[in-house]
Amino acid sequence: MKILDHQKINLSIVISGILIFCSSAFLSGQTSLKDRLQTTQDSIQKYYQKQPEIALDFAFKYEKIAKESDSLKYKAKADNFLGMCYYTNGEIDKAIQFYVAGIKKFEQLKDVWFVSMLNNNIGAAYQHRKKPKETILYYEKALKGFESLKDSAWMANLYNNISIQKNELELYEEELALKNKALNIYVAQKDTQRILFTKGNLAHTYFKTGDYKKSIENAETFLNSPFNKADLSEKVTVMLAYSYTLQKTGNSTKSMKVIRETLELAEKNGFKENEMKAHSHLASLYEDQKKFKEAYFHFNKFYRLQDTLFNQQKDETINELLVKYETEKKDAEIVLLNTENELKNLQISQSTYVKRVLIFGLILVSLLAFLAWRLKNTKAKTNRELTSKNQMISKALEEKNILLREIHHRVKNNLQVISSLLKLQSQYIEDEGAIRAIAEGRNRVHSMALLHQNLYKEDNLTGVDMKEYFTNLIEGLFEAYKVSTGTINLKTDIQNIILDIDTVIPLGLIANELISNSLKHAFVENPDHAELEVNLYEKDGRLIFQVIDNGKGYSTEEAATGKKSFGQKLIRSLSDKLEADMEIINEKGTKVTLFIKDYQKAV
């Protein structure tokens, strides 16, 4: 069984809507051009249904006139008219081709209404080809456009169009939802005919979903309404659904009565497909009543009609292929004729053209020879100047590197002098707290001195090898706090990363503070089995630095807020400079992890 067919109604609405809209919209330019376009458009409207070949000729005429103007709107409308006329001529491929061309132009014009309309037309073309998935794709594009315009009439029309394709795919629940959306719009608009039309369709849909009560209600509303102006083909289709549902609910007597009336109407009006379905249903009803002779009679009728319809569809397919073949053949002949004309024109002008080309070629060769000689001299001069400048740049760069290396060397020496002065000063201080503060200061100065020492030694004067730097820093701190590697088991996992000096200075000071804290405080209560781990690596676009010990741990709150200790305040300040998130875990010791976002590698 088939749902009420919207295809003819949809196409009529599409073409009528386009022609009415086109007749008054966006006309500009000279009056004569407008008159010619309007006259041609009227002719398309006159012939496109009854004499589509004549309409196609007028569509080409419209396209030719549109090309004389500078209006993209006219050219887009010409594509649309050609698509419409090719559709009614049965040349679906060409129809789609012109619809797509029209959409591109209307998209440039930002004309949402026409873009939506042409997407609907493409959907109708694919519906003609019985390709429901492609049909739904373009109908949904059209629906999206009309929804943005709040065009409820077209929204309802497209809900119905899409629901037909959902029926073809046997997606009956989705079909039901779409039909109810359309019905709500028709109810709001008080459109009696479309309400009845949709209820007739719903009778079939509810039958497919198994809701027989609603199927009967909708069928009876459609069939018994005194206001129903639907044509006989729609009435016959609803009567089929009504009869099917009556049989399912056990009312075979009434089902038999309805299907006989259906068969009579179908035979009288030449509705072959509905006639075939009526015979199939009658056969089923007689079989239920054990009247096998009558059942056989109607089954026989059903199969004969089925064969007839199959052959008819096959003939239509063959005819469509023949039309396509003849069209392609005609197009090929036109291309061949144009090519022959162009060849003749080319032969006529060939002699004069050859002479001109030879003269132009001689002039061009002479000019190229002169330019080549000029270019050679210019290039040689440029190369000499470039070589001289490169030598000067290389010399200046070498002098700059020597100077920068000397600066790093002097900074390192000055920091060592500061460290020595602090050590000398501590010998004259008796306060233990002051002595410790000076020792910590010396360690911080030492961490910066190591940095400049590495820069002085390496070829890269702006980057520091972190593996070597941290190795020297940790060794210096072990020596400063008089700790041997035998006392504390040291583990390191430091990637070979070359970092910029602006990153290394704060990171080195943070490392100095964290390692010093572990060496000073972590293992006071339990020096046995002491372990210290230092890690540095990159992960997920961040630099990860960790100091882990298995000592007594310390207050997470104090470390997080940076109170009570200058070292903790320094760590917090330097972490902010590096845009680092700090995580402190006190579990079988202390694990401090910095997730550094703002770091730079040396080039």
**Cβ-contact 512, 443 below 8 angstroms:** yes
List of domains in the chain: 1-189 (1.25.40.10), 191-198+205-290 (1.25.40.10), 474-596 (3.30.565.10)
Q: What pLDDT band is residue 118 in, cutting at 50, 70 and 90? A: very high
- Nearest Cα neighbor of 76 from 104, 38, 41 is 104
Rounded CA separation 302/93 (Å): 34
Nearest-Å Rg of the Cα atoms of the chain is 45
Higher-pLDDT residue of 330 and 487 is 487
pLDDT at 28 over 50: no
Structure tokens at 208: 């497919």
pLDDT at 1 over 60: no
249 φ, ψ to 5°? -90, 5
Place of tokens 């080319």: 346
Pairing of strands 580-586, 530-539: unpaired
How large is the average pLDDT for residues 202-216?
90
Task: For 74-110, write each residue's pLDDT tens digit.
Answer: 999 999 999 999 988 888 888 899 999 999 999 999 9
> What is the reported pLDDT for 57?
92
> What is the reported pLDDT for 13?
42
> What is the reported pLDDT for 302?
86
Higher-pLDDT residue of 242 and 561 is 242
> What is the reported pLDDT for 148?
93
pLDDT at 223 over 50: yes
How large is the average pLDDT for residues 549-576?
71
Higher-pLDDT residue of 440 and 135 is 135
How large is the average pLDDT for residues 440-459?
63
Sign of CA dihedral 158, 159, 161, 165: positive
> What is the reported pLDDT for 279?
87
Residue 187, CB-side half-sphere exposure with 13 Å CA sphere: 8
**Cβ-contact 3, 205 below 8 angstroms:** yes
Percent of the chain with pLDDT over 90: 22
**Cβ-contact 208, 174 below 8 angstroms:** no
User: What value does the mean pLDDT of the chain take?
Assistant: 79
pLDDT at 21 over 80: no
Q: What is the 3-state secondary structure (H, E, C) of 51-118?
A: CHHHHHHHHHHHHHHHHHCCCHHHHHHHHHHHHHHHHHCCCHHHHHHHHHHHHHHHHHCCCHHHHHHH
Rounded CA separation 221/200 (Å): 8
> What is the reported pLDDT for 396?
64
> What is the reported pLDDT for 429?
76
> What is the reported pLDDT for 12?
42
Q: What pLDDT band is residue 310 in, cutting at 50, 70 and 90? A: low
Which ranges of 109-251 would DSSP assign to H, the alpha helix? Answer: 112-128, 132-149, 152-168, 172-189, 192-209, 212-224, 232-248
Q: Classify each residue of 121-152 as buried b or exposed e, where b means 16 or more C-beta atoms within 10 Å of its C-beta.
A: bbbbbbbbeeebebbbebbebbbebbeeeebb
How large is the average pLDDT for residues 217-236?
88
Place of tokens 């400063």: 480
Amino acid of residue 221: T
- Whether the full predicted model's pTM is greater than 0.85, yes or no, is no
**Cβ-contact 464, 455 below 8 angstroms:** yes
> What is the reported pLDDT for 167?
87
pLDDT at 34 over 80: yes
Residue 51, CB-side half-sphere exposure with 13 Å CA sphere: 8
Rounded CA separation 521/555 (Å): 12
Where is average pLDDT lowest: 33-42, 224-233, 551-560?
551-560
Where is average pLDDT lowest: 131-135, 162-166, 342-346?
342-346
**Cβ-contact 273, 240 below 8 angstroms:** no
> What is the reported pLDDT for 537?
92
The one-character DSSP state at 488 is: E
Rounded CA separation 163/174 (Å): 7
Percent of the chain with pLDDT over 70: 74
> What is the reported pLDDT for 508?
84
> What is the reported pLDDT for 372?
81
**Cβ-contact 589, 599 below 8 angstroms:** no
